[in-house]
Amino acid sequence: NAGVTQTPKFQVLKTGQSMTLQCAQDMNHNSMYWYRQDPGMGLRLIYYSASEGTTDKGEVPNGYNVSRLNKREFSLRLESAAPSQTSVYFCASDRINYGYTFGSGTRLTVV
């Protein structure tokens, strides 16, 4: 099925552990995004990639790194997880005038 695939769907980390959230889209979109969603705070942009080979910081980049491996894949890495990074993470890609297509999300808990 065409769309955005995120893995894993759920993850529990201990403080200080690292992990990579994977995202892949098969719609040939140029732009890809990572958002986090916390209760009452809407969606906040962490990093984005306007095209293969480019990445830029969003509103809340601290504690995260990203890699745009190719046109399809855009990964988000937490080098040393903190409880403040407990959140739901969404990857998205877009096509101009057709809005964002979001993945199903990764629910991350840091204990």
Partner 1 sequence: GQQVMQIPQYQHVQEGEDFTTYCNSSTTLSNIQWYKQRPGGHPVFLIQLVKSGEVKKQKRLTFQFGEAKKNSSLHITATQTTDVGTYFCAGPEETSGSRLTFGEGTQLTVNP
Q: How far apart are CA 33 and CA 89, in angstroms?
A: 10
Q: Give min distance, CB of 16 to partner 1, in A.
A: 29
Between 14 and 39, CB nearer to partner 1 = 39
The structure tokens 């099925």 sit at 1
Window 12-71: residues binding partner 1 (CB under 8 A) = 31, 33, 35, 40-45, 48, 50, 58
Window contacting partner 1 (CB under 8 A); options: 9-17, 68-76, 79-87, 88-96: 88-96
The answer to whether residue 10 forms part of the interface with partner 1 (CB under 8 A) is no
Q: How far apart are CA 97 and CA 86, in angstroms?
A: 32
For 51, 73, 94, the CA distances from 38, given in Å and listed in that order, are 27, 24, 22
Q: Give min distance, CB of 111 to partner 1, in A.
A: 21
Q: How far apart are CA 11 and CA 22, in angstroms?
A: 12
Window contacting partner 1 (CB under 8 A); options: 14-22, 69-77, 78-86, 94-102: 94-102
